[in-house]
Amino acid sequence: MLNTLRGLVLAAGVAAVPAFAQAECPPPESIDRYAQTARDALVALDGLVPEEQQRGLEDRYAAMSILRWSGQGRDIILNDQSALNAISQCIESRRCSAEAAERSGAGPRTIAPFPSDRLVNWANRQLECELVATASEAETAAPEPVDQEPVPEPEEEIVETDDPAPEAVAETIPSQPIDDTPPETDPTADAEPEIADPVPPADITVDDTEPETDDLATADVTDETLAIEPDPTPDDDALSTAETTPQAATAPMARASIVEEDAYQRLVRTAVTTMMRGDVTSSVDAISQACVITAEQADPVATCELVFNHYEYLATRADPIRFLAFTDQLCRLNYARGCANLARYFGVSTTAEAHLAAIKFYDRACNRGDADACAAASDYFLTGRASVADPARARDTLYQSCDLGRLASCQDLAEFYARGVGGEIDLVRALELNDVSCPIGQNAPPATCVAAANFILLNLEAGSERDTRVRTYIERACRAGHDVGCAWHADNLEFGIGGDIDPAGAKQARGTACRLGHRASCDANS
């Protein structure tokens, strides 16, 4: 459970941490571990965070999967279905900057051995990694020295150098005033030739409008762009270039649009930080405070249930005071499990005062929709453990539990009506409730179906109707995986009780009972 707690809290914190804190280029040797952490965040926070943050987590995981694909080849992705799905969805939704061939071949087993440079650069920008040089960038960079070769004037300079190569001749030419490109030593030079080079125009546009204090906006900018940013008064030509740049307000703005961190997210981030330092107590305290914030609006809440599971399976005995403080705080907010946990805590005591406290909290949780708490409260009212027995209230509370969907309570309530506990005898109503307790399908609790069959044996006269009902309930119990139910069903099929004789079905049911642990069925010869 500690690993589960740590994994879920860590995953929750990934979404709460601002993007600039998440932006960490994973080392190639650790990319698998980083990708698994990103995957854990997606699983743990599915449906718990705003859609914008969920999309950011999806893109982060897709980016790491693309880098795994780039570094380890296609097989590593084909053997990881979650990574393959993340890449396919990212490509199909066109959030990834994929080539046309990659968009058309995004399905399983059709991807290329390695991703395109364009797709890898998209992943690198997501994770703040260094961009790779693409073929198109190499083509645009190559003509620069060639354009200078036709100038014939620098012959004397060539003679002064010892046997220079033709490329060296071209390098001497840009020092002449006729070159549009300014020398590197001139800080006031026009920056337009630098803009068109390796950095995508969209990135430059955003960086021209955002100050360098914004870590998010400058995360994907190259050295050339950073040289432009300090100029507080860009010239008109640069502004006109930025205005005509395609996609100037799409991709970079999507990366920079981060929802401001609220109190809940700050607490979850604190829980992550302290958990990573090994301080479990502080981490649980932080996630508990985050739970309290959301418990006022909803029930159940994932963070609250996580903390309860931690206390119940790990720390209740070791630190009951903290557990009681947390449950009491949530019960005061009318959070059902908080009141139910308090009731169970006091219920193990033998004093009358503790029992009074237990029934109070069970009743409160029941009124908040906790079906198990209603069943427990009914037992207290029936037996009089808290005070004087009150069968009528026990019956009403058990009815509430059944109505909330606890099928075992429906079967118990059938017994109340059949015996007249807490009210008049009503066998018709009892049979209806008994039938409700064992519904058709796989949702029926197998033990409850066996109890329903026993109820029919005790409350109906012998005859075909009774045998048919029993056979129906027992067959449902067997299908739900009950060993005694399957052995009983085998007898019914073998001897034709409640229906036709079916030797083959009887043998199969008895084999199932044997596999489920019913030893007598293993020794049978049917």
DSSP string, 27-71: -GGGHHHHHHHHHHHHHHHTTTS-HHHHHHHHHHHHHHHHHHHHH
Alpha carbons 242 and 228: distance in angstroms, whole number: 13
Alpha carbons 15 and 259: distance in angstroms, whole number: 11
Any idea of the CA torsion for 100, 101, 102, 105, to the nearest 10 degrees? 130
Give all domains of the chain, ordered by start, each with its CATH number.
19-138 (no CATH), 193-260 (no CATH), 446-526 (1.25.40.10)
pLDDT of residue 372: 95
pLDDT of residue 134: 57
Alpha carbons 473 and 467: distance in angstroms, whole number: 10
Say if CB 331 and CB 301 are below 8 A apart.
Answer: no
Say if CB 221 and CB 232 are below 8 A apart.
Answer: no
The pLDDT profile of the chain, 526 residues, written as one tens digit per residue, is 334 444 444 444 333 333 323 446 888 877 887 888 777 767 766 666 677 777 888 888 898 889 888 888 877 877 788 888 888 888 888 888 877 666 544 444 456 778 888 888 888 888 888 887 655 444 444 444 444 444 445 444 444 444 444 444 334 334 444 444 444 444 444 444 343 443 443 433 334 443 343 443 333 433 333 333 444 444 444 434 444 444 444 444 343 334 456 888 889 889 888 888 888 888 888 999 999 999 988 888 888 988 888 887 764 455 778 888 889 999 999 899 999 989 998 888 888 889 999 999 999 999 999 999 999 999 999 998 878 899 999 999 999 999 999 999 999 999 999 999 999 999 999 999 999 999 987 677 899 999 999 999 999 999 999 999 999 999 999 999 999 999 999 999 999 999 999 999 999 999 999 999 999 999 875 4
pLDDT of residue 110: 52
Say if CB 492 and CB 499 are below 8 A apart.
Answer: yes
Say if CB 472 and CB 440 are below 8 A apart.
Answer: no
pLDDT of residue 213: 38
The DSSP element (H or E) to which 472 belongs, if any, is helix 464-479
Cα separations in angstroms, 277 against 14, 272, 274, 328, 469: 15, 9, 5, 28, 60
Token representation of residue 33: 């571990």
Alpha carbons 109 and 446: distance in angstroms, whole number: 43
Whether a cis peptide bond, with omega within 30° of 0, leads into 200 is no
Count the residues in the chain.
Answer: 526
Alpha carbons 269 and 271: distance in angstroms, whole number: 5
**Angle at the Cα of 294 from the Cα atoms of 290 and 299, rounded to 5 degrees:** 125
Closest CA to 150 of 188, 185, 176: 176
Residue 500 burial (CB count, 10 A)? 7
* Interacting residues of 22 by C-beta distance below 8 A, sequence separation 6+: 14, 60
pLDDT of residue 155: 47
Buried/exposed 127-137: b ≥16 CB within 10 Å, e otherwise: bbbebeeeeeb
Alpha carbons 437 and 425: distance in angstroms, whole number: 19
Torsion over CA: 371, 377, 382, 385 (sign): positive
Token representation of residue 351: 């004093």
Closest CA to 477 of 523, 432, 516: 516
Alpha carbons 302 and 340: distance in angstroms, whole number: 17
DSSP state letters, 10-21? HHHHHHHS-HHH
